[in-house]
Amino acid sequence: MVHTLKDVRQQLARIRAQVTAAETVLARIRAHGDPKFAEKEASTRQLIEALSAQAEALALRLGGDPPRVLH
């Protein structure tokens, strides 16, 4: 559980790093263009969406930066 502002900021930074890593993986999957990776692409997109939702919720708690828009 997150208790302090510092904890929330650290958790938000970790989540944003995870989103960045997942976006990199997704870009590599898409660049490969192999249909056999469609399931991996879908699960990676779902992970990005879930992490983005967590980041948005934490950012709102902080009253800080607006969440990034992913396409």
Predicted confidence (pLDDT) per residue in 21-49, tens digit: 999 999 998 898 888 888 989 999 999 99
Please say if the pLDDT value at position 65 is more than 80. Answer: no
Task: Give the per-residue pLDDT at 58.
Answer: 86
Domain ranges of the chain: 5-62
Query: Phi and psi dihedrals of 70, rounded to 5?
Result: -105, 145
Instruction: Give me the DSSP letters along the chain.
Output: ---SHHHHHHHHHHHHHHHHHHHHHHHHHHHH--GGGHHHHHHHHHHHHHHHHHHHHHHHHHT-SPPPP--
Which is nearest to 46 in space by CA: 19, 13, 10? 19
pTM: 0.72
